[in-house]
Each structure stands twice: as structure tokens, then as C-alpha cells.
Amino acid sequence: MKRLFSGVQPSGELHIGNYLGAIRNWVTLQESFECIFCVVDYHAITQPYAVEDMAPRIMDAATWILACGVDPEKATLFVQSDVPEHTELAWILNSVATMGDLNRMTQFKEKAEQQASVNAGIFTYPVLQTADIVLYKAERVPVGEDQLQHLELAREIVRSFNARFGPIFPEPQAHTGTARRIMGLDNQFKMSKSRGNTIALGEASEAVMAKLAPAVTDVNRKRLKDPGDPEKCNVYTLHTHFSPEPVVEDVAAQCRAAGRGCLDCKKILHRHLMDDLAPIQARAAELKAHPERVRDILAAGAEHCRKVAQETLREVREKMGLCRTGGRIS
Ligand code: AQP
């Protein structure tokens, strides 16, 4: 089986963008790949956060990943900072990655614009991301559209490393699903934890409807009798991911014919969205009642990953002429 790596940041509540763009695919992919899934807390610390929030967020992310259907019998789940080799390899790869390439990263530019002072971790984020992947010699990386540029950079870093020190790492390939970029409820920006434009996986039914009600639809459809264009409507896009095919067809036809109002269309979406979320929420509640189960899964995952990671680092050091002096504990 080919190995696959993917991660999610504990930077806030996981949302339906993370679910459609990543975690729902993970559940399918765990059947045909050797999957390693990670809660990437070292990435999350590049954003401002309250210290007391981080540990609960990490547990929360792991809980939702499991509740969505990632099965520890089929896939490995762990927390990035439990395997320090991630940052060690990132430092090594920093000596291969170029400032010019990192400067081109759109996500860096966007995040930098949102902050008065930009830490170096945001800049070198894609290098740590490369280390995350190649530490396990993963060949596939399921990602949303936002991460495609980072993955191209990872491939570039791998090529440079291999050319200089020998062919250790495979070039990772992106694996994109059908939901490459879910827009936020503002229909303006990508759905993002940091933008506050999300529907969280744990949101109660009434809260979901309260968020959907004012969600932006086709802006040209101002009155009920104006025909709409489903292709310009984020609510329609969400229908394509949550509603059954005949409903999606009906929603599109009614929108074009101005037969149904946007609020009624949202109520239908709400029903189908909750059909998907309700069993996930029930599993999450069960796991939250038994956090020791989640901790055990993460501990077993970290133990497995540490072994693989240490072996990769041993190989890397050897190729780079970094010999052991005997002072190093491993
Ligand atoms: N809106 C989205 N549409 C499709 N896929 C998405 N992903 C995130 N948002 C969308 C995918 O989810 C995985 C985990 O993402 P992440 O949590 O590591 O980081 P992110 O992409 O930066 O997610 P957020 O919500 O936008 O977080 P913040 O606001 O903290 O930066 C990735 O595979 C991502 O592609």
C-alpha cells in the first residue's frame, strides 16, 4: 500500500470546509492507502492563541477526526509535537528551501496581510509541512485547493534535497477530492477557522440554521421573482455536497425558474446537512465522554510514527554527513 499523509490544524473548531475538503476523503482513502493523519499543533502556534485553549483544541480536533470516521484500526492518528523529528527535519529542509520560493506563497501573503507583526513561522510554514510529509516518505497528500501551492513547493524541496544528498524522499503527489475549495458563508473568502465564516462540525441544528439564514446567495437574485444562477450560489454548492442528487437537480431548477425562495432552499440544505452531521456529532459526544480512548489512540499513533520518523532521520543524517558523536540520546 502507498503511504499517505495529511493534517489538520488545531487552530479553532473544525468546520464543514475541513470536513468536505479533507476529512471526508480521509475516511475513504484509509481503505486503500497506509494513512497517517496528524493534528498539526506546531503549525497552529504560528497564529495568535490563548495558551489554555491549545490542549483542548488538540483533543477536540482528534475527537472530530475520529467521529468523522477515521478508524484507528485502519489509519494512524497522532499529534505533531509528540514526534519532535518533524521540527528537526524542518530545520534541515530550511537549508534547502529558498527564500524566493517561500516569498511566492499566497497563503503567507494572505496571513501576513491579516497581522500587524508576522512571525517567521508563518513564512517557513511550508517547510515544516514538507517535513511532515517526507518524514514518512508519504507519496500522496490529500489537500484542498489552498494547499496545492505548498505541495508544489514540497516537491521542489524534495527535488533539491534528493539532487544534493541522494534520492531519499519520494515526490509527494496531491490528492484533491471534489470539494477543493468550500467558500465561507460570506461567499467571499474560503471557509476558514480564522475568518469566522464557518459552520462548525459540532454546531447544534438551530445554530446551523441561524447561520444559514443570512448566508450570501447569488447576489443578483434580490427578490423572490428574480431568477437565480445556482453556479454563483454557495448554498447550491453546499447542496451538491450534502443533498441527494434529485434534490440538487430540483434546487437548481427552482432557483433558475425563481420558483423557490432562498430561505426555503436553505431550509432544505439544513435538513440534509444535519443528516450528515448528526451521526458525527453523536460519535463525538461519545468520545468526549471517554477522552482516555482518544488519548490512547493518539499515544499509539505517536509511538508508531516516532519509529518511522527516527529511521528517516537516521538515514538523512547519514546522507548529509552528520555523524553521531555518541552524545545524542535517541
Ligand atoms: N474551505 C475549505 N475548502 C476545502 N478544503 C479546506 N480545508 C480547509 N479549509 C477548506 C482543508 O482542510 C485541511 C485542514 O486544513 P487546516 O486546518 O490545516 O488549515 P487551513 O486550510 O488553513 O484551514 P482553515 O480553516 O482555513 O484554518 P485557519 O483559519 O486557521 O488557517 C487541509 O487539507 C485544507 O486544504
Give how many domains the chain has, as a whole number. Answer: 2
Using CA atoms, how far apart are residues 42 and 185, in angstroms rounded to an integer? 28
Q: Whose CA is nearest to atom 34 of ligand 1?
A: 144
Task: Clarify whether residues 296 and 279 are in a common domain.
Answer: no
Determine, yes or no, domain membership for 307. yes
Determine, yes or no, domain membership for 187. no
User: Helices 262-289 and 291-320, interaxial angle, to 10°?
Assistant: 90
Determine, yes or no, domain membership for 158. yes
Using CA atoms, how far apart are residues 20 and 106, in angstroms rounded to an integer? 22
**What CATH number does the domain containing 269 carry?**
1.10.240.10
Indicate which residue of 137, 190, 288, 319 is catalytic. 190
Task: Give distance in angstroms: CA of 18 to centre of ligand 1.
Answer: 5
Task: Clarify whether residues 55 and 103 are in a common domain.
Answer: yes
232 included as an active-site residue: no
At 53-78, the pLDDT tens digits run: 999 999 999 999 999 999 999 999 99
Task: Clarify whether residues 88 and 9 are in a common domain.
Answer: yes
Task: Clarify whether residues 281 and 295 are in a common domain.
Answer: no
Task: Clarify whether residues 308 and 265 are in a common domain.
Answer: no
Put simply, whether the predicted model's pTM sits higher than 0.85 gets the answer yes
111 included as an active-site residue: yes
Determine, yes or no, domain membership for 328. no
Determine, yes or no, domain membership for 197. no
Determine, yes or no, domain membership for 100. yes
Task: Clarify whether residues 244 and 306 are in a common domain.
Answer: no
Is residue 33 predicted with pLDDT exceeding 70?
yes
Which residue range forms the structural domain that includes residue 99? 3-182+291-320
**What CATH number does the domain containing 59 carry?**
3.40.50.620
Number of H helices, E strands in the chain: 14, 5
Handedness of CA 159, 161, 166, 168 (dihedral sign): negative
3-state SS class at 227: coil
Which residues lie with the beta carbon below 6 Å from any ligand 1 atom? 7-9, 11-12, 17-18, 21-22, 47, 143-144, 146-147, 179, 181-182, 190-194
At 83-132, the pLDDT tens digits run: 999 999 999 999 999 999 999 999 999 888 888 888 999 999 999 999 99
Task: Clarify whether residues 20 and 115 are in a common domain.
Answer: yes
Q: How confident is the model at residue 328 (pLDDT cuts 50, 70, 90)?
A: low
